[in-house]
Amino acid sequence: MSETGRALWYVGAGRAEIRDERLDAAGAGHVRVRALHGAISRGTESLIAAGRVPVSEFQRMRAPFMAGAFPFPVKYGYATVGVADGATVFTLHPHQTLFDVPGEAAVPVPSSVPAYRAILAANMETALNAVWDAGDGPFGKVAVVGAGVVGALTGYLLRRLGDADVILVDVDPARAALASTLGLGFAAPADAPGECALVVHASASAQGLATALALAGNEATVLELSWYGDTDVAVPLGGAFHSRRLKLIASQVGQVAPSHRREWSYRRRLEKALSLLDDDRLDALIEPSVTFESLPAELPRILRPGAGILCQRIDY
């Protein structure tokens, strides 16, 4: 039997709409997912919504099950939790009420993780890959510049998996409460301790990157998690950058970290990320929900720079 789903499409700079999509019977090896919850990934989706994906990245930035083409119109997103064949599953699917995916793309949510919290899985997967890219611990003193969702989760994992002494660094003093909830330290940029063995940058700003480089100790690694879209960013490579023999490296979730690529598939990495969401404290990253049908009206507020919003939950 055919059914009708409803999907969010970005149709122009700052404009989105919900469209009906007819689904015929699911094909062989596919499952039909009825969405329960979803999440807006503010960093990436703000660039998508503004049409700021560089032409050179049109193919690499395609999300699983994305439809349309950059810059517009595109059906984009990668954090949906739903029910398929009676099981709660996470899928890297755009924002849509009802859809079909290959069975292997619907990853079961562990019983220890509430369905609503599983919307953090994509961000947790990014953070896990970042920890792998950071290299072997122990890391000692670590600063994470930019206490958004990915930055906070990366700091949380470095503390949980690497027993590091982690300080979140952010210009927003309200992030101190989040840091405390996650068992991490907090400092404003001017007060952050230097001589860190590892600095993670996740603020998506030139000022944040400069702060990250300034906090790095001798022969330290600065791990860049930010994506700037089509924006050119000044990188301060003068001063002590060379004399301190700093390493500035990129981490991106599109490929499994080289250190784990031989033994870890994409699916196994996502399964691990889901299992790491078994901590009630992570609810501090999730904003009060908005309804799916209200998204076109709500997105300008959610994606506004400086809004202070973490993981925006969607309820279907």
pTM score, whole prediction:
0.96
Predicted local confidence at residue 134, as pLDDT: 95
Is there a single domain that holds both residue 112 and residue 131? no
Is there a single domain that holds both residue 246 and residue 133? yes
Is there a single domain that holds both residue 130 and residue 164? yes
Closest CA to 210 of 220, 223, 201: 201
Is there a single domain that holds both residue 110 and residue 158? no
* Residue 18 maps to a domain: yes
Is there a single domain that holds both residue 269 and residue 306? yes
* Residue 198 maps to a domain: yes
Read off φ and ψ for residue 11, nearest 5 degrees.
-115, -10
* Residue 258 maps to a domain: no
Using CA atoms, how far apart are residues 214 and 236, in angstroms rounded to an integer? 9
Give the mean pLDDT of 207-231. 95
Residue 235: pLDDT over 80: yes
- Asked which of 223, 250, 277 is the last residue of a domain, the reply is 250
Confidence of residue 83 (pLDDT cuts 50, 70, 90): very high
Residue 111: pLDDT over 80: yes
Residue 187: pLDDT over 90: yes
Predicted local confidence at residue 63, as pLDDT: 93
Is there a single domain that holds both residue 105 and residue 60? yes
Other Cβ atoms less than 10 A from the Cβ of 292: the count is: 20
Residue-wise pLDDT for 113-171, tens only, equals 999 999 999 999 999 999 999 998 788 899 999 999 999 999 999 999 989 999 999 99
Of all residues in the chain, what percent carry a pLDDT higher than 90? 93
With beta carbons less than 8 A apart as the criterion, state whether 204 and 42 touch. Answer: no
Is there a single domain that holds both residue 134 and residue 107? no
Q: How many structural domains is the chain composed of?
A: 2
Using CA atoms, how far apart are residues 196 and 166, in angstroms rounded to an integer? 10
In a 3-state reduction of DSSP, which class is residue 95?
Answer: coil
* Domain, as residue range, for 146: 124-250
Predicted local confidence at residue 79, as pLDDT: 97
Using CA atoms, how far apart are residues 82 and 115, in angstroms rounded to an integer? 8
Residue-wise pLDDT for 270-292, tens only, equals 999 999 999 999 999 999 999 99
| CATH code assigned at 152 | 3.40.50.720
Is there a single domain that holds both residue 267 and residue 230? no
Give the mean pLDDT of 254-273. 97
Give the mean pLDDT of 61-75. 96
